Amino acid sequence: MFGLGLPEILIILVIILLIFGAKRLPDIGEGLGKTVREIRKIRREKKTEKGDKEKAKKEEEKKVQKGNLISDLKKEVEEIPGLKELKTIKETTEKVKNLTKLLK
């Protein structure tokens, strides 16, 4: 414990007893206990906030990666040989269908 031995700790306790008196020692101990609990609570909250932020950041990165993956796949699909010709054929057939509907 910080390199303090039993004699040093006893001397410190005796000095504290002489300064504050026996009646106030329980109050001081209670105050120290509350302080330690509050510090632990704050640390836990910060850890959970940090974990939540990291999770949100990872989820955002996954979304960006998925978006990049989809755009990359679209580019690869567009580069398939003959696909552009098929698209133009499909568009012209749609136009012909619309014209035949109008003529009926």
More confident of the two residues 71 and 91: 91
pLDDT band of 10, cuts 50, 70, 90: confident
Token pair, residue 103, equals: 């003529």
3 state DSSP class of 26: helix
pLDDT band of 66, cuts 50, 70, 90: low
First to last CA, the chain: 96
Average pLDDT over the chain reads: 82
User: Is residue 37 predicted with pLDDT exceeding 80?
Assistant: yes
**Is 0.85 surpassed by the pTM of this model?**
no
